[in-house]
Amino acid sequence: MRRISVKEEACIGCGICQVYCTMEHSKSKDAIKAYLKENPKPVSRIRVETNKPVSMSIRCQHCKDTPCVYACLAGAMTLDKETGLVTHDPEKCMGCWTCVMVCPYGAVKPDSSGKIIAKCDLCPNLDVPACVANCPNDALVCEEVDE
């Protein structure tokens, strides 16, 4: 199963991972268009927390116990048992924010419409997730792990 881990000692809290996440989840995949022109605006699915001197980039952990999947009344959050990925279906999401409340990592946020949520999908179209590939300090690691 694909997983992203963070090297706390290497994260400098620059927020570049958020920029590339936003770009990857935009229509244009272009920074200027994504930030200034697209409507609805794409949002980063990453949160960067800084408590000096430590910074950390936080995203969905695709938890084994999946509290968001159990809590979602609409069936919009599902666990793929083969890949271990927790996926979100925007067509089913009714924006009740239950998953926002139950996620222990604070990894779910409203998208820019304010009507549905957005969370890390591990960039299914890329060999390496955008945040990992573009972290200037190699603070993010993507690896296949056995569950």
Question: Which residues form the interface with ligand SF4 (CB under 6 A)?
Answer: 60-63, 66-68, 71-72, 74, 76-77, 86, 88, 93-99, 103, 105, 107-108, 117, 119
For residue 44 the two structure tokens come to 């980063």
| Shortest spacing between CB 53 and ligand SF4, in angstroms | 25
**Between residues 12 and 96, which has the closer beta carbon with respect to ligand SF4?**
96
Give one DSSP letter per residue of 82-139, joined into a string.
TT--EEE-TTT-----HHHHH-TT---EE-TTSSSEE-----TTSSS-HHHHH-TT--
**Between residues 80 and 138, which has the closer beta carbon with respect to ligand SF4?**
80
Q: Cα separation of 115 and 129, whole Å?
A: 26
For residue 131 the two structure tokens come to 């945040």
CB atoms within 10 A of CB 76: 22
| Shortest spacing between CB 51 and ligand SF4, in angstroms | 20
| Shortest spacing between CB 79 and ligand SF4, in angstroms | 8
| Shortest spacing between CB 32 and ligand SF4, in angstroms | 30
**Between residues 70 and 143, which has the closer beta carbon with respect to ligand SF4?**
70
